[in-house]
């Protein structure tokens, strides 16, 4: 290890709170692929990330299963998906200080490390794998327990499995159809991070990031759902909020009244048609008799 690698390695060990017997496991886990160009893939976090993703999923699934005995498969799945999502892991990794220990290559120099969000997520998963390989499942579980599990809650089971559909349903109550735009693409081709934003007409709402456009849009929808009051109610006085609620209720009442009137009109026409048909039958009967 050179001086920079050694400094970042030691800082990573402090954050993780584990002394590695095999230093290569941790060194690879904090090494961005751009710093391992021309070398075997085992010298960056790519392979470890693959293993860590499965181990992390199993740890979180097991903990959720043990904690929430009344939840069905759907609720347990929503908790797991929320905890191991890209945005969740990137947020945890950033709060731990992993942004300062990732070893980037020269190709990332001067770019502002645009793929940092994706790298943070990948490094977290790779570290879980490194801990598993070096210290067994107990070491991996201890790290996940200390850094991630405090975010687990029953509320996560209530989060929509499809945030985009949930947001569309919510906004269409007010006649708004959300749209999504890709506003930025970060990182090199082998490590892309996409940034999408939700729009209500031309009014920009929340943004989301992900390793795919679909994930970025889903995260943007999720953030918008959490901030609906900010986008559509913040800054209104109590009188203005009451007026808005009254207007909304009036619109619903008018819509219901119009629907009822339309239904009554159809019934009236149907009755008239039946009466007219009965009169024609009677008229023809009278003609035959005469």
Catalytically active residues are 53, 125
Tell me the H-state helices in the chain: 3-16, 23-29, 46-67, 73-83, 86-96, 116-147, 163-171, 213-226, 228-232, 238-289
Q: Which two tokens stand for residue 127?
A: 């570290």
- C-alpha distance from residue 162 to each of 64, 207, 238 (Å): 20, 16, 33
Cα–Cα distance between 132 and 217 in angstroms, integer? 33
DSSP 267-279: HHHHHHHHHHHHH
Phi, psi of 153, rounded to the nearest 5 degrees: -155, 165
Cα–Cα distance between 129 and 126 in angstroms, integer? 5
- C-alpha distance from residue 173 to each of 149, 170, 222 (Å): 36, 6, 17
């Amino acid at each position: 290890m050179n001086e920079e690698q050694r400094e970042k390695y030691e800082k990573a060990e402090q954050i993780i709170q584990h002394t590695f017997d095999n230093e290569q496991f941790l060194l690879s886990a904090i090494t961005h692929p751009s710093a391992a160009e021309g070398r075997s893939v085992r010298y960056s976090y790519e392979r470890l990330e693959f293993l860590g993703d499965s181990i992390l999923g199993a740890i979180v699934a097991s903990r959720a299963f043990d904690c929430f005995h009344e939840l069905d498969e759907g609720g347990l799945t929503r908790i797991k998906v929320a905890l191991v999502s890209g945005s969740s892991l990137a947020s945890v990794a950033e709060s731990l200080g992993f942004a300062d220990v990732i070893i980037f290559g020269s190709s990332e120099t001067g770019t502002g490390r645009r793929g940092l969000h994706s790298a943070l997520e990948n490094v977290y998963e790779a570290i879980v794998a490194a801990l598993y390989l070096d210290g067994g499942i107990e070491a991996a579980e201890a790290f996940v327990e200390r850094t991630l599990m405090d975010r687990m809650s029953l509320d996560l089971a209530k989060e929509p499995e499809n945030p985009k559909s949930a947001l569309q349903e919510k906004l269409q109550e007010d006649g708004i159809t959300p749209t999504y735009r890709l506003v930025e693409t970060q990182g090199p081709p082998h490590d892309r991070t996409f940034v999408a934003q939700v729009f209500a007409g031309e009014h920009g709402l929340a943004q989301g990031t992900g390793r795919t456009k679909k994930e970025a849009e889903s995260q943007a929808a999720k953030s918008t759902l959490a901030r609906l009051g900010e986008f559509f109610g913040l800054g209104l006085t109590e009188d203005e909020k009451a007026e808005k609620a009254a207007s909304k209720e009036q619109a619903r009442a008018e819509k219901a009244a119009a629907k009822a009137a339309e239904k009554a009109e159809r019934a009236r026409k149907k009755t008239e048609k039946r009466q007219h048909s009965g009169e024609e039958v009677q008229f023809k009967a009278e003609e035959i008799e005469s």
